[in-house]
Chain A
Amino acid sequence: MLHLDELEAQSVYILREAYSQIEPLAMLWSLGKDSNVMIWLARKAFCGHVPFPVIHVDTGRKFEEMYEFRTRYAVEWSLQLITGDCPPVEEVDPTLPPAARAAARKTLGLKALLAQHGFKGVIAGIRRDEQATRAKERVFSPRDESGAWDFRDQPPEFWDQYKTDFPPGTHVRIHPLLHWTEIDVWRYIERENIPVVPLYFARDGKRYRSLGDQDITHPIDSNAATLQEIIEELATTTTSERAGRAMDHEREDAFERLRASGYM
């Protein structure tokens, strides 16, 4: 099997396990490229359907093109879309540096939505290669009631057996893209012709490699205007994907603290 086929088969397996064993289930849709791949994989897994709600946690500060994308594809893909707002930044932990504070808004917004709808499991598109702390994640990752993640005590996952039994009150995050790399994601998008927000493509010598809130995401210098060009560019780059994300470069442990308190 080709590498992409292996990844696809494994992700489909994971989505089907989650759907079978965990209920109620929802999928996070950030409108970014990884999210779109996830929705695509869900349609592959469930014969064209996405049989659970799709959640967009809206900070209100996303790029306009993303909102357009959301409107269009929610209809085209027949998604059961749930959107939720985030509390204002004033309500967030003031000891966090500014960019991390913006991210924490999203955490609070997500927690509120989960509590409101009572979802037991949430599917998220994080990948191990994105960031060092994410590299330590599990495919099925328990969270306690406050959404906290104990990185010291993670369940063992082997032989395709995932942790699907949880004490009452536990939530679980499911990560079907955990083993995908950035370039895997782009190759898959190219192969399958998956639509992505135009911001990823170069305009006036700049493009976005990663999409966060407008005020904390910075574009990179690039002329890659097509999928092929993006893949070529990635194959030779040595900077990391999230280099443009201010929050990752603030104090060393800020990201760690974010994750431990329930940020993706």
Chain B
Amino acid sequence: MSPRLPLGSEREALKIVIVGHVDHGKSTLIGRLLYETGSLPPGKVEELKAVSARRRMAIEWSFVLDAFQAERDQAVTIDTTQIWFKTATRDYVIIDAPGHREFLKNMVSGAAAADAAVLVVDAAEGVREQTRRHGYLLHLLGVRQVAVAVSKMDLVAYDERRFSEVSREIGHYLGEIGVVPTFIVPISGRDGDNVAVNKAAVQGEGSPAMAWYKGPSLLEALARFQTVTRPIDQPLRFLIQDVYKFDQRRILAGRIESGILRVGDRLLFSPSNRTARVRSIEVWNSDTECLEVRAGQSVAITLDEQVFVERGEMASHEALPPMLSTVFRATLFWLGQKPLEVHETYKLKLGTREARVRVQSIERVIDTDTLAGRPGDRVERNGVGEVVMRCREILALDEYRDLARTGRFVVVDEYDTVAGGVISMEGYPDQRHAFAVKSANLTSVEHRVTATLRTERNGHCGGVLWFTGLSGSGKSTLAMAVEQHLFNKGYHVYVLDGDNVRGGLNANLGFSPEDRAENIRRVGEVAALFADSGVICISAFISPYRADRDRARTAAKSNFHEVFIKAGLDACERRDPKGLYRKARAGKIADFTGISAPYETPSRAELVVDTETASIEDSVRQIVDYVERNFARSRNPRKA
């Protein structure tokens, strides 16, 4: 079907997707739209009549779309087709989408590319499961413009009250997920009422079946949709697809996903953190020099330096780079046969980057019918879940709500795409302020007093006992008790306690994810210095993020021992020694670990002390014994 386009126009076609529950009339609507806009080739209408007659049915507009034998016999559309049609004012490409559960992955393929959507609801059947699921997915896929068509009005005798009922129900659901439909149009695909023209709004058209409806026809509603424009005003994101060396030039190829890139710009590559200037923008077969490229363009550039950059890296300007993280939250829809399970690993594809990720936790499984979330250890096929993903490598990414193209990803299991998801970094710090050493010109100087000499003198080696656990789990109590016991045994020992340090060294830090990370970074470095000086440093900080604890471990180089002071949230809340849980529950403290901020349980602590089951004395003894086994040179350091 070749579209008839007016001469000289390079009009952008609006991409729309038509979704809704199976058999609610989507295909019929599309067939009707094509007919009404004169987009069917001559002979097609006759062909339709013949085929329908052969199958002993009244003319079925949906047959226009069903290319497959199988589909005709089953009367269920299987896949997405792309259909062009036009009106006087603009061109459209419809991506037909099926309503049956089984083929959600096909609907997603279509809807993900759409500028706008029409959600079809059968007037007689009303809002059904797939109606809601598709509405939810449209929102998740970023389709912001939605019109609703209440179809088969002929089956409910064009009753206004029924239309109002259905409108209210779907309007309410969409409202709950933050989608406001532009229009809700009552139509009859079979007879064509309100598809192209609203007869009630046109004078002298006789008595139309729906005289009570004064709004626009569906086609008029479509005309109000706008094409989604490329984000040139957003921060630059240039995703490297490949590096070519066909001749002496080293060429970086990829697409600009947002922003503008110019010759001479200084680029920052993430996650490698390398920088270089754009020397040229390479264009084949053009006489004019290209000095600027924008979002949407596939480009090839050269740099002024030979930096090692490869596929998967994201280039930006230095001012507004992507975030760096080894962990992120995501809302995703699962398409795979096997359910998504916590602790499983999958392949993540984010832009041109690929990495293995593990599902650290499933925070909520969302029921798209009720929009309720419940905890779960798996997300079933066609389900939606909120998860936390962790990666061994550091990833460059953006918040989906800020930059959609670099804030979304797909998940691949074995060879298949099994999910699409969008990223939120809520509760997790940007690890970019990862503590890069800012000073240049540093020369480290060796101590003449070595660690061995200190160990000889003290009778034990220095090191770090890193206590971690929820507020109220017993860290400070145990730390002070252990310090006293060890001191009495002749050890050189000192406690860095959370509240104490926050009153001095870290007085200028709060509890945002970034400040917590900095808090721990400083304590980690100080503890490392103590350890280096031969002292056993006990740190008692909640230290909720694994990444920060790992960093402290690296700072200490060797002899770092993570001690998980374990107690459940309920137990800690019951104890509430400082009254903080009560305040947090009352909303007086924001970002409180366990309640409004995450705690990442240690997975490889050297020692676990369960303060719910052990008494204080037993816990202290456990820790002291551990120290004696691991730090002491001789049984009694006092005699060293």
Binding site for B on A (CB under 8 A): 1-6, 8-10, 12-13, 16-17, 19-20, 43-49, 51, 128-129, 132-133, 135-136, 138, 151-152, 154-159, 161, 163, 165-167, 179, 181-183, 187, 192, 231-232, 234-241, 252-253, 256
Contacts and interface: CB of A to CB of B under 8 A. Distances in A.
Interface string B37-74: 00001100000000000000000000000011110000
A1 B11 CA distance: 10
Interface string B329-368: 0000001000000000001010000000000000000000
B112 interface: yes
Interface in B81-118: 81-84, 105-106, 108-109, 111-113
A9 B417 contact: no
Given A132-B67, A238-B41, A158 B255 contact: no
A240 B242 contact: no
Contacts, number: 156
B297 A5 contact: yes
B3 A158 contact: no
B253 A16 contact: yes
Given A51-B246, A128-B82, A156-B108, A163 B253 contact: no
Nearest to B51: A252
Given A179-B82, A234-B2, A1 B230 contact: yes
B7 A235 contact: yes
Nearest to B256: A9
A1 B2 contact: no
Contacts of B241: 13, 16-17, 20
A234 B83 CA distance: 17
19 contacts: A8-B298, A12-B298, A16-B253, A16-B298, A17-B241, A20-B241, A46-B246, A136-B79, A136-B80, A152-B70, A156-B105, A159-B420, A165-B414, A235-B7, A237-B4, A238-B2, A240-B41, A241-B2, A256-B67
Interface of B: 1-7, 10-13, 41-42, 67-70, 78-84, 105-106, 108-109, 111-113, 141, 230, 241-242, 244, 246, 249, 251, 253-255, 282, 284-285, 294, 296-298, 300, 311, 335, 347, 349, 405, 408, 410, 412, 414-417, 420
Contacts of A43: 284-285
| Most A-side CB within 10 Å, residue of B67, B105, B109, B298 | B298
A188 to B, nearest CB: 11
B35 to A, nearest CB: 13
A135 B2 contact: no
A236 B68 contact: no
Contacts of A9: 255, 296-298
A48 to B, nearest CB: 5
Contacts of B111: 158
A5 B405 CA distance: 19
Contacts of B297: 1, 5, 9
A44 B284 contact: yes
A240 B2 contact: yes
Contacts of B11: 3
Contacts of A161: 349, 410, 417
Nearest to A12: B298
Contacts of A151: 68, 78-79
B406 to A, nearest CB: 11
A133 B417 contact: no
B246 A49 contact: yes
B12 A3 contact: yes
B68 A44 contact: no
A43 B285 CA distance: 9
Contact of A253 (B10, B69, B420): B69
Nearest to B335: A156
Nearest to A158: B112
Contacts of B349: 161
A207 B468 CA distance: 80
A204 B244 CA distance: 48
A159 B410 contact: yes
A167 B311 CA distance: 22
B246 A157 contact: no
A181 B81 contact: no
Contacts of B253: 16, 45
Nearest to B404: A159
Enumerate the 7 nearest inter-chain pairs by beta-carbon distance, A residue then B residue, closest first: A158-B112, A132-B67, A156-B105, A12-B298, A135-B81, A9-B298, A165-B415
Contact of B298 (A45, A152, A156, A192): A45
A131 to B, nearest CB: 8
B253 to A, nearest CB: 6
A187 B284 CA distance: 19
Contacts of B67: 132-133, 135-136, 256
A232 B3 CA distance: 12
Contacts of B112: 158-159
Given A13-B241, A43-B284, A159-B410, A183 B298 contact: no
Contact of B417 (A12, A155, A253): A155
A17 B106 CA distance: 22
A180 to B, nearest CB: 11
Contacts of A138: 109
B10 A187 contact: yes
B109 to A, nearest CB: 5
Nearest to B11: A3
A206 B300 CA distance: 42
A232 B41 contact: no
A44 B285 contact: yes
Contact of B296 (A1, A16, A234): A1
Given A1-B297, A166-B415, A183-B5, 7 more contacts: A45-B253, A156-B106, A161-B417, A165-B415, A183-B3, A187-B10, A239-B41
B82 A135 contact: yes
Given A20-B311, A181-B3, A183-B2, A165 B298 contact: no
B80 A235 contact: no
A191 B254 CA distance: 23
A43 B283 CA distance: 10
Contacts of A183: 2-3, 5
B285 A48 contact: yes
Given A45-B253, A47-B284, A183-B5, A3 B78 contact: no
A165 B347 CA distance: 11
Contacts of B244: 46-47
Contacts of B79: 136, 151, 154
B300 A252 contact: no
A216 to B, nearest CB: 21
B298 A13 contact: yes
A187 B8 CA distance: 10
B19 to A, nearest CB: 14
Contacts of B405: 159
A3 B417 contact: no
Contacts of A155: 105, 416-417
A152 B108 CA distance: 15
Contacts of B141: 158
B387 to A, nearest CB: 18
Given A51-B246, A133-B68, A253-B69, A3 B10 contact: yes
A136 B81 contact: yes
B44 to A, nearest CB: 9
B348 to A, nearest CB: 11
